[in-house]
Amino acid sequence: VLLLLFHVCSLFPILLAVADLGWSQPTLIQEKAIPLALEGKDLLARARTGSGKTAAYAVPIIQHILTSKQSVREQAVRVLVLVPTKELGQQVQTMMRQLTSFCSRDVRVADISSKADVSSQRPILMEKPDVVVGTPARVLAHINAHNLDLQASLEVLVVDEADLIFSFGFEADLKSLLCHLPKIYQSFLMSATFTEDVQALKELLLHNPVVLKLQGSQLPDSSQLQQYTIKCEEEDKFLLVYTLLKLQLVRGKTLLFVGAVDRSYRLKLFLEQFSIPACVLNSELPVQSRCHIITQFNQGFYDIIIATDEQSLSPPAGSSQAKGKEKKNADKGGK
């Protein structure tokens, strides 16, 4: 009876926050992941951006902290959330604070992913927030500066957008960080795709995980597609694109493909003259810039991507794909 009472008491503030957010039904990832997380399972979950992955791990984390504090009052950093960018760090902190709005005194969240001086963030960590959010590099910097000690207190590790962690250059930082973590903790890997990098993270962080592949095809079937061809003179193409967008004949998230890199920038500048913001994506941009642009597009900073219609893009230097390609080339050279 006491255990049931503790469970209800810890869940009540979360239910109030969920009601305050206006959520009436869980998304698919939330429906599948939350019960498994509450059972203490390690999770590897794939679901598209915007599917509710953050709440899928935030809800069980908050309940875990509230339940733990029923018996252990000592303040400690119990949860670490690793993110590839400071923008995602801010987003995670915002969601966590919304979900803890009725228990903010009991569950404190600190985002250290910004590029502020390490010493300036020291007072935040000295208060031992329950949840720390940050990039692997920032977390490691604070550990090395003795601002953060996870060895004895960490209970849950989350890697959000796991498919971007290595491609953003955090592989060495993450592997070094693991040396400062306890031997036993619950882990969640949340990803939009299952890449070789995610597989490598799975081997590093997870123990007998439950794998949730919830991302079906993001493309509509043939019954939902319509295709049109409009023939016009070269000098009228930009004006036609503007007209389609301005009259809302094309709505929502939009990909505009052009034939050359310089043309993508010309179209971007043309649309911006009419207050239509767009971002450019092409192979001349560094891989981190490309990943950042896609993240901004997914998060709604832009609704239009102008992409160069190229046959292929080389994998990022240092990635698993690039190393595999180099190995094949070396094998060919040796024959």
**pLDDT (tens place) for every residue of the chain, 335 residues total:** 333 334 445 678 898 999 999 998 898 899 999 999 999 999 999 887 778 899 999 999 999 999 888 887 789 999 999 999 888 999 999 999 999 999 999 999 999 998 889 999 999 999 999 999 999 999 999 999 999 999 999 999 999 989 888 888 899 999 999 999 999 999 999 988 888 888 889 998 999 999 998 755 455 556 667 788 888 888 889 999 998 888 888 888 899 999 888 999 999 999 999 989 999 998 888 888 888 888 888 878 888 999 987 654 445 455 444 555 454 444 444 43
Q: What is the pLDDT of residue 324?
A: 52
Pick the CATH number of 222-308 from 3.40.50.300, 1.10.287.70, 3.40.50.620, 1.10.3720.10: 3.40.50.300
CA distance 248 to 237: 17
Query: What are the structure tokens assigned to 193, written together?
Result: 């795709």
**Domains of the chain: which residue ranges?**
2-213, 222-308
pTM above 0.75, yes or no: no
Whether the Cβ atoms of residue 214 and residue 51 lie closer than 8 Å to each other: yes
Q: What is the pLDDT of residue 9?
A: 52
Half-sphere exposure in the Cβ direction for 194 (13 Å, CA) = 12
> Of the candidates 172, 153, 151, 160, which has an alpha carbon nearest to the alpha carbon of residue 82?
160
Q: Does domain 2-213 have CATH number 3.40.50.300?
A: yes
Which residues have a Cβ under 8 Å from the Cβ of 56 and sit 6 or more positions away? 27, 29, 30, 33, 34, 37, 45, 47, 190
Q: Does this chain's domain 2-213 share its CATH topology with 222-308?
A: yes
Query: 16: helix, coil or strand?
Result: helix
Q: What is the pLDDT of residue 221?
A: 53
